[in-house]
C-alpha cells in the first residue's frame, strides 16, 4: 500500500518531497492494487511519464490527505484506454482527467466535478518548422503530423481542426502517434515529421529557441479546463472539504507554493453542465 507523507508547505520541501515520490512510480502504472477501504484512491490521467506524474502531483495528493485526515494513494494507468476503463469501474475515489473523459465518467460512473483548473480554455495548436515550406494548413496535405495519444484531448482537437480546414485526418494527412505532447513537438522540430499537433500549454512552456523555430498554423476551438471530480464513494462532507481546500490554495503561503509547483494559477468552482458541450469529442475516441 502506498501512502503519502505529511504535506510540506515550503517550495523547497515540495521539490524534495516530489523527488521522493518517484520511487513509487514503478508500481503506479501497472495493475491496480487490491483496494483498502481505509485508503482513498486519486486517479490521475497518465498525461506524463509515471515518474514525472508522481513528482508533480504527489504533493497535491499529500495536501488533500492532510485536509481529509485520511490516507490517499495516487494511481494512474499504463495508457488512456486502461485509465478510462478503471474510471468506468469506479476504481478512483477522486479523479483528475481530461474534459472529454470527464464527460464519460459523469455519465458512465456518476463522477461529479467540484473544481477545475482556474485557467483559460484549453486549446490545441498545429505547428510546423519555420525553416520548411509549410505556411498554412492546406500545405499539410500528404504530410506527416506528430500527435500525442490518439484518444488525448489534443489529438481530438487536432482532428477537428483539420476537418474544419477541409483535410480528412484519416486520408489527407498521416497522423503519427508519439508518447507525449513534447515528443510531438520535438519530432517536428527535428524534421522527423512535417508538423506537430499538441496542446497549447506545452508549446508555451517549451524552450524559447524551440518556440521561435516553429510557426503556428492553426489553433483549435476551446474546451473547459481539466476538472477534479469525486466518485460516489466520497461523502458530501468530504467533497466540501476537498472543494474548500482547493479553492483556498491561493490564500496561504503553503498553498501558493503548491500551486507554483503545479504551474497552475489556482482552482475555480465547476459544475457538470460546463462539460455538457464537449460530447462531440467523445465521438472521435478510438476505444
Average pLDDT of adjacent 10-residue blocks, the chain of 287 residues: 39 40 44 69 90 93 97 95 96 97 97 95 96 93 96 96 97 95 94 96 91 96 96 97 97 96 95 94 84
Supply the pLDDT for residue 287.
78
pTM, 2 dp: 0.84
C-alpha distances out from residue 7 to 16, 52, 258, 259, Å:
11, 18, 10, 13
Q: What are the start-end ranges of the E strands in the chain? A: 40-44, 72-75, 94-96, 112-117, 124-129, 144-147, 174-177, 195-199, 214-219, 227-230, 267-269
Supply the pLDDT for residue 21.
43
Q: First and final CA of the chain: distance in angstroms?
A: 30
Calpha distance 16→11 (Å, rounded): 9
Domains annotated for the chain, with CATH where assigned, are 11-120+224-282 (3.40.190.10), 124-219 (3.40.190.10)
Supply the pLDDT for residue 48.
80
Supply the pLDDT for residue 49.
80
Amino acid at each position: 500500500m502506498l501512502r503519502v507523507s505529511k504535506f510540506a508547505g515550503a517550495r523547497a520541501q515540495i521539490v524534495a518531497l516530489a523527488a521522493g515520490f518517484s520511487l513509487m512510480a514503478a508500481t503506479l502504472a501497472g495493475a491496480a492494487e487490491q483496494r483498502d477501504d481505509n485508503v482513498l484512491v486519486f486517479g490521475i490521467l497518465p498525461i506524463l511519464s509515471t515518474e514525472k506524474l508522481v513528482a508533480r502531483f504527489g504533493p497535491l495528493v499529500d495536501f488533500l490527505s492532510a485536509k481529509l485526515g485520511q490516507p490517499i494513494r495516487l494511481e494512474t494507468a499504463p495508457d488512456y484506454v486502461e485509465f478510462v476503463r478503471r474510471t468506468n469501474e469506479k476504481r478512483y475515489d477522486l479523479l483528475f482527467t481530461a474534459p472529454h473523459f470527464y464527460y464519460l465518467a459523469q455519465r458512465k460512473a456518476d463522477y461529479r466535478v467540484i473544481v477545475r483548473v482556474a485557467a483559460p480554455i484549453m486549446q490545441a495548436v498545429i505547428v510546423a518548422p519555420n525553416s520548411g515550406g509549410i505556411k498554412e494548413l492546406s500545405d499539410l496535405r500528404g504530410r506527416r503530423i506528430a500527435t500525442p495519444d490518439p484518444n488525448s484531448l489534443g489529438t481530438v482537437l487536432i482532428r477537428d481542426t483539420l476537418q474544419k480546414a477541409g483535410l480528412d485526418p484519416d486520408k489527407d494527412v498521416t497522423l503519427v502517434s508519439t508518447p507525449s505532447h513534447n515528443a510531438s513537438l520535438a519530432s517536428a522540430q527535428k524534421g522527423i515529421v512535417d508538423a506537430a499537433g499538441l496542446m497549447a500549454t506545452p508549446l508555451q512552456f517549451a524552450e524559447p529557441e524551440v518556440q521561435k523555430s516553429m510557426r503556428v498554423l492553426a489553433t483549435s476551438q476551446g474546451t473547459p479546463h481539466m476538472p477534479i471530480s469525486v466518485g460516489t464513494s466520497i461523502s458530501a462532507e468530504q467533497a466540501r472539504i476537498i472543494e474548500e481546500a482547493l479553492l483556498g490554495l491561493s490564500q496561504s503561503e503553503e498553498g501558493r507554493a503548491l500551486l507554483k509547483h503545479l504551474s497552475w494559477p489556482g482552482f475555480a468552482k465547476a459544475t457538470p453542465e460546463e462539460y455538457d458541450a464537449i460530447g462531440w469529442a467523445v465521438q472521435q475516441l478510438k476505444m
